[in-house]
Structure 1
């Protein structure tokens, strides 16, 4: 496979996953602000922008944190180079470049989703159409993923698609967890209060994890049990362990196809050591924030190694 095609597939699925994760984060934040006063609602929107790395860009053109302004900025603003609309457009551009490597079903899912979202976001986002816009983003990613599973050969294209998906997903889970634990609460005095429980509930909803977590934990809501679930539970498809299991498998398949291992497989092994045989007690003893920063850094190194090994710039 040509490096530029591999690059296109890898980033197509990264952008689709990133757009979906962003929509879920906005949806969870919007749900939470409906039951909070103005000060806490503003704090919640700030935390979302911090998680997305967009706070400085937002503050350059806005003085306050209202739901409509934040959602409009994140979803469609031309002042935001990482808007959801641009993510979906980039995914579509990559899909068009790689048309010969993907099936008609995948192309149709991506293209039709982009057209629907383009029309929907032609006007500013308001409370009246926010849920519809977020639903379209989530649905587009889900349809593209379903078309991928149901119509594509299990070959290099599929491996790069899965690597892009799970590398992006792992990064999102780690960043959401880190911001919650390190930045969201106003002070340590809030730990264990209803506000603290509400924030953790928001984290679970952001990762589509609320129902699964409650099934397994009988409603317990604590930092340790939630961190253990989102980091170490290999049954949950957005946990760090699950994402890395999928990445490891697809890197192994690429190594078999190419007849050799490279920097990507080596970096995967090095980063994987952080998770192998770890307990949540080990993680908290080291420091959750420090663990997550190290994980995010290792994740970025894997992405760079994949790009280098498979000549994404070629």
Structure 2
């Protein structure tokens, strides 16, 4: 497969996954900002947490003088000048899909094209008419539909592999950033919040819901969420679809299945990261410092993404 084609497929899926992840963060942060248990009065901190996790808080601060709910929601969801907004991610995904129209199925193209057309309509009308929760649910639904169309219609060839590569690298990065953003937002205070307190419960529950893991947590642990168990599940449980280990396991298998020798550096990195996670325990992670460990892993996932790009996606 040509590097340019592989790159377009890879980034198409990354941008779609990123849009869904942004919608998950925005929905949960917005809900928390309306709750008295959030403990922040105006709820700006909870919305700022989404900007922090997405890496766009500095861009927001450069544009606006102060945190404002209306401005943050627009910047995060519909701002076409913000490359990290949901609007921009869906636009980029559609552009990449158009470039590889001949390598994806009609169902996939029709889904992503219809998503973009509806996104433009939502942007022209504004979130006020649509509603934040409704908008976020729509983004997640469109992502699920595209993933279903992909799984059900495309051949299991290199194109499918690069689509899945983009999905799982983006998903692994998002899980790490959500955990780390919570630490950065609340700092040492987050460790002092009692796991049995209402505030602690809502903080951890919001994180689990953002990753569609609330029901899985209740099935596995059957008690109120706490730092150790939430971290263990989201980092080290291979049976939780959005956990870090589950994503890295998929990446390891996908890269190992790709032909040729150019990908050996990426394959080696994925295998090493997979082995590290498989044989890590939550006790040693917490003992070394959760924030430092997450920061290190964010860097490793970023490095893996760069190595995948250098191995497969650079145009020679």
Per the shorter chain, which TM-score range?
over 0.9
Output the CA distance in 2 between the equivalents of 1:61 and 1:190.
33
Instruction: Check if 1:239 corresponds to 2:243.
Output: yes
Tell me what 1:18 maps to.
Answer: 18
Quote how far apart the aligned CAs of 1:261 are. 4.9
What are the within-5 Å matches in structure 2 for residues 100-249 of structure 1? 100-126=102-128, 129-184=131-186, 187=189, 188-192=191-195, 193-249=197-253
Tell me what 1:29 maps to.
Answer: 29
Quote how far apart the aligned CAs of 1:186 are. 7.4
Quote how far apart the aligned CAs of 1:63 are. 3.7
CA-to-aligned-CA distance 1:203-230 (integer Å, 9 cap, x gap) = 1111111122112211321100000000
Q: CA RMSD in A?
A: 1.8
Output the CA distance in 1 between the equivalents of 2:21 and 2:88.
14
Instruction: Check if 1:252 corresponds to 2:252.
Output: no
Q: Please identify, of 201-210 and 184-193, the stretch whose mean Cα deviation from structure 2 is larger.
A: 184-193
Q: Is the 8 Å Cα contact of residues 68 and 126 (structure 1) preserved in structure 2? A: no
Tell me what 1:62 maps to.
Answer: 64
Quote how far apart the aligned CAs of 1:147 are. 0.6
Q: Is the 8 Å Cα contact of residues 6 and 312 (structure 1) preserved in structure 2? A: no
Tell me what 2:6 maps to.
Answer: 6
TM-score by length of 1: 0.93
Which residue of the other structure, out of 73, 76, 79, is the alignment partner of 1:74?
76
TM-score by length of 2: 0.93
Output the CA distance in 2 between the equivalents of 1:271 and 1:265.
10
Output the CA distance in 2 between the equivalents of 1:185 and 1:123.
38
Output the CA distance in 2 between the equivalents of 1:78 and 1:236.
34
* Structure 1 unmatched ranges of 5 or more: none
Quote how far apart the aligned CAs of 1:40 are. 5.6
Output the CA distance in 2 between the equivalents of 1:41 and 1:128.
21
Q: Please identify, of 27-36 and 109-118, the stretch whose mean Cα deviation from structure 2 is larger.
A: 27-36
Quote how far apart the aligned CAs of 1:264 are. 0.7
Query: Partner of 2:64: helix, strand, or coil?
Result: coil
Quote how far apart the aligned CAs of 1:185 are. 5.4
Q: Please identify, of 109-118 and 79-88, the stretch whose mean Cα deviation from structure 2 is larger.
A: 79-88
Quote how far apart the aligned CAs of 1:175 are. 0.5
After TM superposition, the runs of 4+ consecutive aligned structure 1 residues lying more than 4 A away are none
Q: Is the 8 Å Cα contact of residues 166 and 244 (structure 1) preserved in structure 2? A: yes
Quote how far apart the aligned CAs of 1:150 are. 0.1
Quote how far apart the aligned CAs of 1:259 are. 6.2
Output the CA distance in 1 between the equivalents of 2:170 and 2:294.
15
Output the CA distance in 2 between the equivalents of 1:128 and 1:147.
26
